[in-house]
Amino acid sequence: MNFLVTGGAGFIGSHVCERLLRTGHSVWAFDELNDFYSPAIKQQNLKVLRALNKPFTFVQGDLADRAALDAVFQSTKFDQVIHLAARAGVRPSLAEPALYQRVNVEGTTNLLEAARLTHVKKVTIASSSSVYGVNAKVPFSESDPIFSAISPYAASKLACEALGHVYHHVYGMDIVMLRFFTVYGPRQRPDLAIHKFAQLISAGKPIPVFGDGSTARDYTFVSDTVDGILAVTQKEFGYEIFNLGESQTVTLKYLIELLEQALGKKAVIDRQSTQPGDVPITYANIEKAQAKLGYHPQIKIEQGIPLFVQWFRENQA
């Protein structure tokens, strides 16, 4: 099949591209290579993909540039689109809310329109556990009411889910929304906690800990997330939403302990107040993904952190 992967030079996107290439598909990666974090990291991801010597094409472009997207869709007949490109992160979205709406909402609209006009029936779209907001019920289920977003990032992902439903309802497109839960592993973005903490602990610098360390996240190893994404591409769903988490919560305090063990170095804690937009817990109910996708995460946090640290040490430069 011919796959278009937006955000294909990024953390999750590069892993998705690699898996697709290794399983015999042709892949086009569309990525802006913006400076949210160093473009050199994304160039390194592209280098890994090109080294596979598989049918891979990279196109640099902005989701908000409708003409650039149209040109890609007109150049190739795509069988499926996996839409991972977005401005990510809760805290940065509080600083630049309009940018997040432009890229995530307008960009997704542009992508869905380009797919519709070129008769691409199936689009898989990345959403986020952030849409659950401060959810009193745990674990989070896809059927939970989600009207309590507490960041512009979460609001933008909610809008994308609504857009996906519109394009299914009006145009009959096959749209799946995937709510990711704190993905980590090799190639993780440097702004994310595990990577950032590993850098600071290694350098003997303080790590910022917001609150008392009791906040908990459902950390999901990247290979498990990719398993879920690829399972979605195997059949039609109409319109569907799936949680892709590990379904185990890990407190910030325990995460730091695991990093200390893997790095062989104690962390210096810089205790700070809780940040606006942060939720106290994320916790995925994955029964629906298990039943309909055969999704069964394999990597527990105690195994995943050493795997991340191994990659981190090999790529520290």
Catalytic residue set: 153
User: At 27, which helix (H) or strand (E)?
Assistant: strand 26-31
Mark 124-140 as b/e (b = at least 16 C-beta within 10 Å). Answer: bbbbbbbbbbebeebbb
Name the region of 118 (left: φ>0; alpha: ψ -120 to 50; beta: rest).
alpha
- Tokens read off for 109: 């609209």
Under a CB-based contact definition with an 8 Å cutoff, are residues 140 and 243 in contact?
Answer: yes
Nearest to 182 by CA among 3, 2, 7, 11: 11
For tokens 């893997």, the residue is: 262
Nearest to 247 by CA among 206, 209, 216, 277: 216
Nearest to 278 by CA among 202, 212, 227, 223: 212
User: At 123, which helix (H) or strand (E)?
Assistant: strand 122-128
Q: At what angle do helices 107-117 and 152-171 cross, to 10 degrees?
A: 20
Q: How far is CA 16 from the centre of its chain?
A: 11
